[in-house]
Chains A and B, each alone.
Chain A
């Protein structure tokens, strides 16, 4: 329902009144103090609704004794037709109590006929309009808050809980969406114990930065988890995931970078596959990245193959998987990005930080070096042998 913006004078007032004398009186009073107001007259509530006058009105002046509406029935009909109508009711001297009751069920004000002069009438109209606007704003704000809370609950439900019970691997993570007022972005991560006893982990990044990309990221994560738990052969996982991406993406050129890691039960080595994604960092004995050659991102080459690289794991191993949001902010030299080299230096400086605190600490330091919040999503997944300290 379109109404003038706050601050504009009320232009259209609908008077629901069947007494020609009272109509004339209101016309005269308004003409005297507010000639800019256009008065539209209806003899009954039914007529006002039928002629569509309520939609056009900034304020409704309603006589409680018009034909077809006894006592408060007319007011109820008006508010049913337009819940946000700013209504001032007009009462006779003998039924002032009805005016009070009318305010109780949604009228903005009541005026006693014969007592209201021009200034009182125009003030009542303007106050009614502004109060109703304020109420409508509060209702909208409340609706937005409820919608935001619902979205937050939904998004929280889409964030992963690694399924590693029964394995000898521990996972810690950090996640931050680059989207304002959002818990989830296009980055995703997960870690699950597969049917063969190997631990599978993934970190991925959907190219893009909106709710569609966030939804696609969540879908890819859940699809990957389902494929792993269903026992799909590890070499087939990325091809299958690419099929999901291609069938679900809203833009034919939207791609997704992914890093997958498989840790055998013996934990002597990790199998790493990169689809256009940064390589994981091995933290032990000191931070290093043995970059295997990346294959193309998912969604770019139809028959792509992603060759595995074998990464030896030290007895006290810890692996850091992350998305590019962590390394593409400004580095210590503002002309340069942080990149992998900067991340390795940071990790070296943080070698005494416990593994439980490390993901959050890294995010904090990267943001500080950047000189403010990072625009991109950021996902960090830190895996280690279960015996490692926090």
Chain B
């Protein structure tokens, strides 16, 4: 299981920003949507961790939209597990929007899906009770 180092498929000299990017939208009233586009693998998991470390302390609700994720490896899953723990420790909430077979599959296959607060879409995630 990769954590930090090379890209999951052995991509070599690829930089993280070539593999993944983030769109952050503040929805007010302490709610923030972080949309992830690309691969969350060995190379990019630390960048996801940085994003969540930055936003979890400030926002009461962080919606992590994974619908545009093209790969979610165990390195990314480890980041999600620690982010969930961090949010709960602060009394905040991390809510996932899988939105694609890729993210759902990764969470299901590793038996982690039931661990997370998952919504069908971003509007539902924002309107669901906190």
Contact = CB atoms under 8 A, between A and B. Distances in A.
B112 interface: yes
Contact of A205 (B74, B109, B112, B115): B74
A251 B125 CA distance: 30
Nearest to A297: B110
A256 to B, nearest CB: 8
Contacts of B70: 335
Contact of B74 (A210, A294, A296, A324): A324
Contact of B112 (A297, A372, A377): A297
A207 B74 contact: yes
Contacts of A370: 9-10
Given A257-B74, A328-B73, A208 B1 contact: yes
Interface in A330-355: 330, 335, 337
Contacts of B3: 207-210, 213
Interface string B90-109: 00000000000000000011
A186 interface: yes
B85 A253 contact: yes
A371 B7 CA distance: 13
Contacts of B82: 252-253
B74 to A, nearest CB: 5
B81 to A, nearest CB: 5
A376 B1 contact: yes
Interface string A235-259: 0000000000000000011110100
Q: Which of B8, B71, B85, B112 has the most CB of A within 10 A?
A: B8
Interface string A292-316: 0111110011000000000000000
A372 B1 contact: no
Given A209-B2, A209-B42, A374 B73 contact: no
9 contacts: A207-B1, A207-B74, A208-B3, A274-B111, A275-B111, A277-B110, A294-B111, A330-B9, A337-B71
Give me the 10 closest cross-chain CB pairs, A-B, nearest first.
A294-B111, A276-B110, A375-B6, A253-B82, A208-B3, A207-B1, A296-B111, A375-B10, A276-B111, A205-B1
Given A207-B77, A255-B81, 14 more contacts: A178-B6, A209-B3, A209-B5, A276-B110, A277-B110, A296-B115, A300-B115, A328-B8, A330-B9, A337-B71, A371-B10, A374-B9, A375-B8, A375-B10
